[in-house]
Amino acid sequence: MLSTTLLLLSLLPATVLATRHYNIVNNCPLPITLYINGESQGTLGSSGGSTSRDFADGWSGFIYTDFNRGNQDGAGTVRAGFYGTVSFSLYEVKEAL
Mean pLDDT, 10 residues at a time, over the chain (97 residues)?
Answer: 41 61 90 93 94 90 86 78 69 50
Structural domain that includes position 32:
19-92
Answer whether residue 37 is part of any domain. Answer: yes
Answer whether residue 74 is part of any domain. Answer: yes
Secondary element (H or E) of residue 3: helix 2-11
Looking at the structure of the chain, the number of domains it has is: 1
Answer whether residue 76 is part of any domain. Answer: yes
Phi, psi for 34 (deg, rounded to 5): -95, 135
Answer whether residue 30 is part of any domain. Answer: yes
- pLDDT of 2: 41
Please give the model's pTM, rounded to 2 decimal places. Answer: 0.70
SS3 of 79, please? strand
Answer whether residue 11 is part of any domain. Answer: no
> DSSP string spanning 31-72?
-EEEEETTEEEEEEPTTTEEEEEEEETT--EEEEESGGG--T
Answer whether residue 14 is part of any domain. Answer: no
